[in-house]
Amino acid sequence: MTDDFIVWPALAGGILIGISAFMLYLLNGRIAGISGITGSVLGSSGHEFRWRVLFVGGMVLGGLLVTWITGKPPQLQFDSSLLFTVVAGLLVGFGTRLGSGCTSGHGVCGLARLSKRSLVSMLIFMGVAIITVYLKRHVFAELGVN
């Protein structure tokens, strides 16, 4: 864990996420739920396929653009084993299906629309995240499982 967090890149990223969610809703009448958009790319056609591919492609190109502007790729650090990471990813995917959306759909768009369902979903997401971090850092670490 590092203590050199700088707020400006995170703030700029948050603003860009908000703008992109707003523009997608304004121009296409769609909620920017990333898991739903990404998960439906292959099952869509025509206009649905085009906007979904452009949206997902824009996220990838945005990351590449930041790398090009700053001259360095993002620093990724995995403190967990491959197995732990795969299981965590599968659980996140299961959770987005179970919760009918992800943190972008419920957290960014749903809360902005004052959706009670999104508020409950986000409270559950955040509660589970807090429990998970506690278990990983304190329980699993003492057991030597990472």
pLDDT in tens, 43-96: 888 888 999 999 899 988 988 988 898 888 877 777 778 888 888 888 888 888
pLDDT at 41: 84
pTM over 0.85: no
pLDDT at 131: 94
SS (H, E, C) the chain: CCCCCCHHHHHHHHHHHHHHHHHHHHHHCCCCCHHHHHHCCCCCCHHHHHHHHHHHHHHHHHHHHHHHHHCCCCCCCCCCCHHHHHHHHHHHHHHHHHCCCCHHHHHHHHHHCCCHHHHHHHHHHHHHHHHHHHHHHHHHHHHCCC
pLDDT at 57: 92
- Residue of higher predicted confidence among 80 and 107: 107
